[in-house]
Amino acid sequence: MPPTCPLCAALSARLRFQKDSFNFFQCDSCSLQYVDPMLSDSERKRLYNNDELSPIEYYKKNRRADQKTFQERLKIIEKFCSPGLLLDIGTNIGTLLAVARERGWNAIGIDFNHRAAQYGATAYGVDIREVEFSNNGFANESVDLVLMNDVLEHLPDPLSVLREIQRLLRPGGKFFMSTPDAGSGMCRIMGPSWIHYKPREHLVYYSRKSLAYALHKAGFNILWCKNVARYRSLESFIEKGSLYLPSLTSVRKLIPSFLTNRIILPLFFYDEVALLAEKQKDQPGNRTTQNPPEIP
């Protein structure tokens, strides 16, 4: 029997494939994809703190590229709301916090990676709290904007996270997130080789349909949704791109490494989706309907 769907609690799911000794299921009811077994919370916390997953060196190396990514994302968000108190969940070394601060936000980050939080606070003077999100200490309706860039797919229980975000946001407050798009053409073409199928890190995989369902169920209205790019250094671009196009590795030999680290490009395979949602003013996060409105 398949494990219970982490989003809709259905017990009916199809085994799609196996990879690295993990099973990949797809829920028959809400279409969410998820891995089984999932590493335990303590094991994942150990791997993140040992820099075996999401290592801080990667974020230090790509800081300039991340700054560009977050500038673009905040520009979009600011079309819908003015700067106020911002909370960035899974902030790592806090690159987004520094960018947001320059744009007038009061920016606070959360990350349970001790080294990342320490580094961000020391190197950039940003406010990073080393806490679990489930025990964040923020008051009800105290935050204007919550962000989760490439985080929700790392979490085993999406609804409890989304409902906690609901609790923190003031009425009308905004939530921005990005995640790999498991409904994308790239995912379908690559199958189990898709770069984002990483079962120790990515526990759940959303399509636009399952995202719309999750957010609707947690009491959000989606205002904006698009495929987005993430900027990366040419070095990272070659590294990731060579998984799809092995010949790219020969390009690296032609370009001096100071240039491959210096040049920044948008990494855009149409397989990352971002959305901006608004907390419902009149409804708590407990909707039960199976039929969310279409994503705009």
Of 86, 116, 113, 123, nearest in space to 102 by CA: 86
- Rounded Cα distance between 278 and 59, Å, is 29
Check residue 5 for interaction with Zn ion (CB under 5 A).
yes
Candidate list 26, 30, 269, 279; residue touching Zn ion; CB under 5 A: 30
- C-alpha pair distances (Å), 216 with each of 7, 15, 96, 150, 223: 12, 26, 27, 19, 12
* Choices 20-28, 74-82, 168-176, 265-273; region in contact with Zn ion by CB under 5 A: 20-28
Tell me how far, at minimum, the Cβ of 31 lies from Zn ion, in Å.
7
Check residue 8 for interaction with Zn ion (CB under 5 A).
yes
30 token code pair: 């809400």
Tell me how far, at minimum, the Cβ of 3 lies from Zn ion, in Å.
11
Helix axes 95-102, 63-77, angle to 10 degrees: 50
Of 65, 67, 66, 69, nearest in space to 228 by CA: 69
Candidate list 4, 23, 29, 67; residue touching Zn ion; CB under 5 A: 29
Check residue 116 for interaction with Zn ion (CB under 5 A).
no
Check residue 100 for interaction with Zn ion (CB under 5 A).
no
Check residue 77 for interaction with Zn ion (CB under 5 A).
no
Check residue 182 for interaction with Zn ion (CB under 5 A).
no
Rank residues 146 and 218 by Cβ distance to Zn ion and give the closer one: 218
Candidate list 22, 24, 25, 27; residue touching Zn ion; CB under 5 A: 27
Candidate list 10, 195, 265, 267; residue touching Zn ion; CB under 5 A: 10
Of 123, 176, 116, nearest in space to 145 by CA: 176
Q: Name the burial class of residue 10, with classes exposed (0-12), middle (13-18) and buried (19+) by CB atoms within 10 angstroms of its CB.
A: middle
- Judged by the rule CB under 5 A, the positions of this chain that interact with Zn ion are 5, 7-8, 10, 27, 29-30, 32
